[in-house]
Structure 1
Amino acid sequence: MQLTALAKSRYTTKAYDASRKIPQETIHELLEQLRHSPSSVNSQPWHFIVASDEQGKARVARSAEGGFAYNEAKMLNASHVIVFCTRTEMPESHLHAVLAQEEADGRFANDEAKAGQDKTRRGYVDMHKFDQKDVQHWMEKQTYLALGTLLLGAASLGLDATPMEGFDFKKLDEELGLRDKGFTSLVVVSLGYRSDSDFNAKLPKSRLPAETVLTFL
């Protein structure tokens, strides 16, 4: 299926069929797409926590108790739930790890190219840290790029998905021990197969017309 058709047909699922499980080979393919998401200067300031059994999903769903109870069932009845996490800072250890991986993957013709990539990436980090003072927001934007990759990837594999910001970030961070590891939760995504009771599946998709959102110079 062409990407345009996928973009038009995918939607945010509101109810899941708890009896259906995503095959392991399918979730593996989706996670590989996610792992290869783009990010500014290949910064990759993210981590993804995958819950696939009842216990794991219940831990994530605790963050929806109370004011976000409308999202609990989406987390509990889905086949898999992924917590998108963003770094709370850009440490030296991460910068070194990314550079070492790029070198191992053969991206540098010589030491000069390696040094140039390192300098460029650090330049962006420093710009957002010291000049624009929005490094956390900048890293979150990279994580949202990964979210887009996942949503379109899920559609390409015949999976339904629900991205959610409606949960208690602090409670989820505490439940998963994220802040001690240098991360914070950003988005939770449920994955699986829609239930027949999903009202949103029957509604037409709605977007503003092209002439409203597109300008050609």
Structure 2
Amino acid sequence: MNIVDISQKRYTTKHYDPTKKIPADKIEQLLTVLRNSPSSVNSQPWHFYVIDSDASKNKILPAILEFNQPRVTGASHTIVFCIKTPIDEAHLVNLLNQEEKDGRYPSADLKQAQDQGRRHFVKLNSTTIESQQCWESKQAYLALGQLLFAAAAIGIDSTAIEGYDAQKMDEILELKSKGLKSVIVATLGYRAENDGNAHRPKSRLSKEQLFTFL
């Protein structure tokens, strides 16, 4: 299946088959995709909670709006996307150390330039707490897009869920004490036979409306 076919067939799943679980090797693939997701200046300002048991689903269910709850209980896995609050010195040092460990710096000058460049863009987007969190959320949504497409590529259905109570989710997972804040939820699994959205044609604006070639 090529990338156009994947984009044509991928859709937002409304009803999952709770009897079908995603194999461990495929979940590992998707977690690797999340880990490899791009972020501005490789800031990686995220953390992901992977929920795959009935007990953990029930734990977060009070934070999910009622109409979305069946998507969590029926799906094989749920992932809560979190951002760091704030991006602090420890995170910046950790990033630089990891990059050095992974062999990204053939010279000390290149390492210093990367560190200075990253700090510049973090500062640029951190004039307020809200502006930093907005910037971080954009990075998390890049990772979300990677996940949704990758899932479709290996035959796994998905739903991006903004319909949840972020404050309640943060309380349930005790995120504030961990320097984190939830920004979006995604469910993964296999569609139910009665999932009506699977049979509706995809609807998108025309190329003429969407693209301007200069």
TM-score, normalized by length of structure 2? 0.97
1:52 correspondence with 2:52 = yes
Aligned partner of 2:144 among 137, 147, 168: 147
CA–CA distance in structure 2, aligned partners of residues 203 and 9 of structure 1: 11
In the TM superposition, residue 130 of structure 1 has moved relative to its aligned partner by 2.9
Q: Following superposition of structure 1 onto structure 2, how do residues 99-110 of structure 1 map, counting pairs within 5 Å?
A: 99-110=96-107
1:191 correspondence with 2:188 = yes
In the TM superposition, residue 131 of structure 1 has moved relative to its aligned partner by 8.5
Matched residue, 1:8:
8
Aligned partner of 1:166 among 163, 168, 176: 163
Could you list the runs of 4 or more consecutive aligned residues of structure 1 that deviate by over 2 angstroms after TM superposition? 130-133
Q: Following superposition of structure 1 onto structure 2, how do residues 82-97 of structure 1 map, counting pairs within 5 Å?
A: 82-97=79-94
Q: What number of residue pairs does the alignment pair up?
A: 214
Matched residue, 1:69:
66
The amino acid that maps onto 1:36 is N
In the TM superposition, residue 197 of structure 1 has moved relative to its aligned partner by 1.3
CA–CA distance in structure 2, aligned partners of residues 145 and 12 of structure 1: 17
Secondary structure of the corresponding residue to residue 130 of structure 1: coil
Gaps of 5+ in 1: none
CA–CA distance in structure 2, aligned partners of residues 130 and 161 of structure 1: 35
In the TM superposition, residue 168 of structure 1 has moved relative to its aligned partner by 0.6
1:113 correspondence with 2:110 = yes
Q: Following superposition of structure 1 onto structure 2, how do residues 121-140 of structure 1 map, counting pairs within 5 Å?
A: 121-130=118-127, 134-140=131-137
CA contact (8 A) 1:60 1:75 kept: no
In the TM superposition, residue 73 of structure 1 has moved relative to its aligned partner by 0.6
Query: How much is the aligned-residue C-alpha RMSD, in angstroms?
Result: 1.2
- Going from structure 1 to structure 2, the CA distance change for 1:132 and 1:50 (only over 3 Å counts) comes to closer
TM-score, normalized by length of structure 1? 0.96
